[in-house]
Structures are given as C-alpha cells and as structure tokens.
Amino acid sequence: MSNPTRDQAWELVCEWVQSDSLRKHLLGVEAAMRAYARKFGEDEELWGVTGLVHDLDYERYPDLDDEENGHPRTALRLFGELGWPQDLIDAVAGHATFLNVPRETLMAKTLFAVDELSGFIAACALVRPTGIEGMKPKSVKKKLKTPSFAAGVNRDEVHQGAEELGVDFDAHVQFVIDAMAERADELGLGPREQ
C-alpha cells in the first residue's frame, strides 16, 4: 500500500470534479491540511492529498442518504481499490458525520476541523473587496452568527471541529485563513477588481 502522490490525486479531481467552486473548495482544504501537517510535524503530502480528495465523489453522488453510492461511499471504495492508506480512507469517512465513523487520528480530526471552516472562510472572502487579505477571526465569527450567510455551512461542525482538534477557536480560524491566503489567487480569493 503506497501513498498517493499529489499528481495522482489531482488527476482524479480533474476526472471526477467539473465544478470550479468544488475544485476550489478541495484546494482550500488541501492548503489547510498541508499547513496543519507542517505545524504538527506530520506527512504533508498525505495530509494534503487527503484534503484534496475528501469530496471527490460529491458532484456525481450528492445524495448522502444513498447508502450504497452516496457521498463519500463511492470515493471510499475507489480509494480502497487503489490501495490507498487506511488513514486517508478513515479520515475521509470521518468527515462525513452521518457515517458515524469515529475520528481517531490527528489527520481525521484535522480534516473535520478544516472542511466546513475553509468553505465558510472562502464565502466570507468572496464578499470582501480585499478578498481573504487581512481577514480576521472576528469578521468570520460575526458572519457565523448570521444563519442566512453561507447557510449550507454547519455551524455546529465548525465549532466541534476546533474542539475535537483541541485548538483555540480564534487561533484555528486565523490559522486556516493564513493557510488559504497563501494560495489566494489559486483559490479565487484575492482582492476584487474595483
């Protein structure tokens, strides 16, 4: 069982995901996962790939109630067939709370902690003239209190993720902002043209 490379993972993303916004979400989660891997002294490549493929089948199989093929079940089978590491498979399964797969590894806890949050940070950046540049946790927390803003983001999971990871919420938000800001142009989160 060998670890997948970033190139192999990106090839799968290009094959499975046509939506530009979903690709950007995957890249944002990858950025946060890589940053946390560096912080924790973990395998940055494996963590990055895990973030990059965590929603691989969402576009094709969005029905979470489909117990055979619904996201992320199809992707989990594919990763198993490819011989990818169990840590990656468990982390992707663990980010889908409805599967009730316990998040036991640091990588699984981190994926859960950055997934919803990175999507929410991207949504916040898209409504700011300066994009992600200069964004602070305070403005993210203010938007979190507005249920109609990025309504699809599960606020409970955003907070639960930081708790499970054992990190201060404000510091966690700033860490993910900083990780995504490093790739702002690629993520479409740079300053908007005036």
Q: What is the pLDDT of residue 192?
A: 80
Residue 192 forms part of a structural domain:
no
Structural domain total, the chain: 1
- How far is C-alpha 139 from the geometric centre of its chain's CA atoms? 20
Name the one residue in this structure whose structure tokens are 């699809």.
152
Residue 1 forms part of a structural domain:
no
Tell me, what CATH number does 58's domain have? 1.10.3210
Predicted TM-score (pTM) of this structure? 0.96
Q: What is the pLDDT of residue 193?
A: 67
Those residues of the chain that have pLDDT short of 70 are 1, 193-194
Q: What is the pLDDT of residue 46?
A: 97
Residue 127 forms part of a structural domain:
yes
Q: Element (H or E) spanning 100, and its range?
A: none
Residue 194 forms part of a structural domain:
no
d(CA 47, CA 30) in angstroms, rounded, equals 8
Give 129-141 pLDDT, tens digit per residue.
999 999 999 999 9
